[in-house]
Amino acid sequence: MYSLIPVGRVRSPLTARGGPRQADEGAPAAWLELDARYAPAARGLRPGDEILLLTWLDRGDRGVMEVHPRGKPEAPLTGVFSTRSPDRPNPIGLHRVRIAEADGETRFRVDALEAIDGTPILDLKPVLGDVSER
Amino acid sequence: MYSLIPVGRVRSPLTARGGPRQADEGAPAAWLELDARYAPAARGLRPGDEILLLTWLDRGDRGVMEVHPRGKPEAPLTGVFSTRSPDRPNPIGLHRVRIAEADGETRFRVDALEAIDGTPILDLKPVLGDVSER
């Protein structure tokens, strides 16, 4: 067992599960608000950067092993490791976003993020090239 | 604070930090060994699938906020959120790999993975298209 510490929160107009499912389906812009103590870790993040945002999907059901993808009952039951369902053993969300604006050292506006207001932020990582990890 | 439960372990010939840094720099093949109880979650994973593997970098130093990227002292000090350093507040590793072989329901061989033998596995996710999250 390992412990995660939120480094900040998502601020978004989204307030409930079941909204847009992917960026191309109309997720809204959002703010990433990091705790002040993480300002040194955020140093160097700039508008235009493409990043991977890791979140904690705190409403995910950790006992779920198989789902009907995208909540469609007609879709065949699928192991959660082959889906992006928030219901999974370790409900870590992964979102590719672009930083659109920085406000001080610890607030960053991003395009099109499907994450509920208040979602804990775990990590930010740079996007790497195609042949390496993302 | 949130708790993570390992769903399996990496089996790799890599036994120490400081080896290859990215897939294109020569990381070896490895096996992902999931615990038997997660077999239903892994149902549907097939050779040829490109996946994102999330690991727990248990040797990461969680107090580090800035690093010299790739361990090169001549590289300028950079906030860890702009790097893939294993030293970061929540040391979650993210690796894009291809499943090369399945052995039963819970063992999967993958190409080129930079993760030390015994690294805890947290999650597996499908790679999505370019416009959506990864």
Q: A12-58 pLDDT, tens per residue? A: 999 976 655 554 567 899 999 999 999 999 999 999 999 999 999 99
Q: CB–CB of B66 and A7 under 8 A?
A: no
pLDDT at B132: 37
Distances in Å between the Cα of B60 and the Cα atoms of B1, B17, B82 are: 18, 10, 16
Q: Which of residues 7-46 of B touch A (CB under 8 A)?
A: 7, 22-24, 38, 40-45
Predicted model pTM: 0.90
Q: CB–CB of B92 and A56 under 8 A?
A: no
Find out whether B118 and B30 touch, Cβ atoms under 8 Å.
no
> Which is nearest to A132 in space by CA: B28, B95, B130, B72?
B95
Question: Where does B39-123 have alpha helices with state H?
Answer: 39-42
What would the two tokens of residue B39 be?
A: 């077999």
pLDDT at B69: 87
Cα–Cα distance measured from residue B76 to residue A119, given in angstroms and rounded to the nearest whole number: 32
Domains and CATH numbers, chain B: 39-126 (2.40.30.70)
Q: CB–CB of B84 and A128 under 8 A?
A: yes
Q: B21-43 pLDDT, tens per residue? A: 554 567 899 999 999 999 999 99
Q: CB–CB of B90 and A123 under 8 A?
A: yes
Report residue A117 CA to chain centroid gap: 11
Radius of gyration in angstroms for the set of CA atoms belonging to chain B, rounded to a whole number:
15
Give how far A118 is from chain B: nearest CA, Å.
14
ipTM of the complex, rounded to two decimals: 0.89
Find, in chain B, the residue whose alpha carbon is nearest to that of A125: B81
Report residue A40 CA to chain centroid gap: 21
